[in-house]
């Protein structure tokens, strides 16, 4: 095959019935949700200011990390059962774990407050009790989202995300005009997540949403044992990955103050737009497709390379714009107080672009049953991130700290991508 033909094949959209339509439905919903979020951003930044946004970012870093681990990662296994009955039992197990984790959050928060471990979140006062509520609705929403993805309910996912974004944005702006405080900003997010979870649960067709009763203890124990790789490998890997992923905001909050953390959170939020608009939609459809062809390694590798090639083309223009005009763009969109966030974005765009391109392959080790190796690589990447933040914080300079983090994050992504591509390489028997 000629080089030009190879390149054309690499960047060709993945083929297959429904792939384009599925990505389009998810991307449309993601686009609408992000348009709402982007449209609200300039208002929220001017209403609340960097300090309140920093407090909101600290809340998000805690609650999203906890929610990602609340079901011991069994929710990610929902895509895999071929048998409908087994999938139903697994779904019941996931809901039970979400309820248990949410109930345990109350004594955990009591202990954290008594020991003085809440840091800057202590400034929330009574509103700190929004954290267990947020954990409950986000955990249920994550589980319902995976179930909807399993059943290819892409339109439902799109509508639910759009409604959630609209609810959160309108509430935050409306209340902020009267009482511009961090707790009310957090309340608006909890409300949006509650809307998302409710729509997903009640919107999935009855033929697709299994009953939450009817699974015996022995059946739940059996599916828990059958998919034990998820809590054994995927859970600790996710815990390490999410905790260290939340560290930048936590380190900036405690080391450089809420205002600097607010600038960082705005930079993160702006740079996640391509991922929310295209990357997540592509990744979800990719995961469903990869789960079905996981035994055909050549087809899986072809799908992976073509999907990552598409995303690499999509990120070029946003990366160029941020690099050339970051501070001016942030000042214009979010207000003059947020111009320094543009300088932070110039650094972040490096690792953000790499993460965007690699987003579809993040679940490939789960699909092909190599979670043990994934955990080891996650430990290496997490250690690099933690070390980078520690070294940067010692410098006392936010930009230096972020530069260290970006370098560590990029190296970790390169190691992971190289390992995954090695796993799905085509094998050829040697010819004499």
Q: Which residues contact residue 137 at a Cβ distance below 8 angstroms, ignoring those fewer than 6 apart? A: 190, 193, 194, 196, 197
d(CA 320, CA 274): 13
pTM: 0.72
Q: Which of 339, 321, 201 is nearest to 271 (CA)?
A: 321
Dihedral pair phi/psi, residue 215, rounded to 5°: -95, 125
Cβ atoms of 387 and 408 closer than 8 Å: yes
Would residue 42 be called left, alpha or beta, if left means φ above 0 and alpha means ψ between -120 and 50 degrees?
Answer: alpha
Q: How far apart are CA 246 and CA 39, in angstroms?
A: 25
Tokens standing for 247?
């560290």
Other beta carbons within 10 angstroms of residue 69's beta carbon come to: 18
User: pLDDT in tens for each of the 432 residues of the chain?
Assistant: 444 444 344 344 444 445 556 666 666 666 677 778 878 989 999 999 999 999 999 999 899 999 988 999 998 888 888 888 888 889 889 999 999 999 999 999 999 988 888 888 888 888 899 999 999 999 999 888 888 888 777 788 888 989 999 999 999 999 999 999 999 999 999 999 999 999 998 887 655 666 555 678 888 899 999 999 888 877 887 788 788 878 899 999 989 999 999 999 899 888 887 666 676 677 777 877 888 888 888 888 888 888 888 888 888 999 999 999 999 999 999 999 999 999 999 999 999 999 888 888 887 887 887 877 888 888 898 899 999 999 999 999 999 999 999 999 999 999 999 998 888 887 643 333
Cα–Cα distance for residue pair 145/139, rounded to 1 Å: 10
> Please, what is the end-to-end C-alpha distance for the chain in angstroms?
23
Smallest CA-to-CA distance from 53 within 337, 391, 274, 303 is with 337
| Contact criterion met (CB below 8 Å) for 409 and 355 | yes
- Torsion sign over Cα 366, 161, 201, 98: positive
Residues in the chain: 432
* Coil vs helix vs strand at 7: helix
Nearest to 56 by CA among 189, 191, 251, 173: 189
Residues 129 and 61 sit within 8 Å (Cβ to Cβ): no
């Amino acid at each position: 095959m000629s080089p030009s033909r190879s390149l054309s094949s690499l960047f060709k959209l993945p083929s297959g019935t429904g792939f384009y339509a599925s990505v389009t439905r998810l991307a449309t919903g993601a686009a609408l949700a992000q348009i709402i979020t982007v449209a609200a951003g300039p208002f929220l930044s001017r209403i609340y200011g960097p300090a309140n946004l920093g407090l909101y970012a600290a809340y998000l870093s805690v609650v999203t990390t906890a929610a990602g681990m609340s079901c011991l990662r069994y929710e990610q296994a929902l895509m895999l059962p071929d048998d409908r009955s087994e999938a139903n039992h697994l779904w019941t197990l996931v809901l039970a774990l979400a309820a248990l984790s949410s109930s345990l959050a109350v004594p955990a928060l009591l202990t954290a407050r008594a020991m003085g471990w809440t840091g800057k979140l202590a400034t929330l006062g009574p509103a700190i009790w929004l954290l267990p509520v947020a954990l409950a609705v986000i955990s249920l929403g994550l589980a319902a989202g995976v179930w909807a993805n399993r059943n290819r309910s892409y339109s439902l996912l799109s509508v639910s995300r759009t409604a959630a974004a609209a609810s959160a944005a309108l509430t935050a702006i409306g209340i902020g005009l009267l009482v511009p405080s961090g707790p009310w900003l957090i309340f608006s997010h909890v409300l949006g997540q509650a809307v998302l979870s409710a729509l997903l649960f009640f919107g999935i067709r009855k033929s697709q949403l299994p009953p939450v009763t009817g699974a015996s203890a022995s059946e739940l124990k059996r599916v828990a044992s059958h998919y034990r790789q998820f809590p054994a490998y995927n859970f600790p890997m996710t815990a390490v990955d999410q905790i260290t992923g939340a560290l930048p905001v936590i380190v900036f909050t405690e080391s450089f103050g809420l205002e600097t953390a607010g600038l960082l959170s705005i930079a993160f939020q702006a740079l996640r737009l391509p991922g929310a608009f295209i990357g997540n939609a592509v990744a979800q459809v990719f995961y469903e497709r990869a789960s079905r062809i996981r035994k055909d390694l050549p087809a899986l590798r072809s799908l992976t390379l073509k999907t990552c090639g598409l995303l690499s083309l999509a990120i070029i223009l946003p990366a160029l714009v941020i690099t050339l005009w970051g501070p001016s763009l942030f000042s214009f969109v979010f207000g003059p107080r947020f111009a320094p966030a543009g300088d932070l974005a110039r650094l972040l765009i490096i690792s953000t672009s790499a993460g965007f391109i690699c987003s579809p392959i993040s679940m490939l080790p789960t699909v092909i049953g190599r979670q043990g190796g994934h955990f080891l690589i996650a430990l290496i990447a997490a250690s690099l991130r933690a070390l980078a933040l520690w070294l940067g914080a010692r410098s006392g300079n936010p930009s230096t700290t972020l530069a260290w983090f970006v370098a560590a994050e990029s190296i970790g992504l390169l190691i992971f991508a190289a390992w995954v591509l090695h796993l799905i390489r085509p094998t050829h028997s040697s010819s004499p």
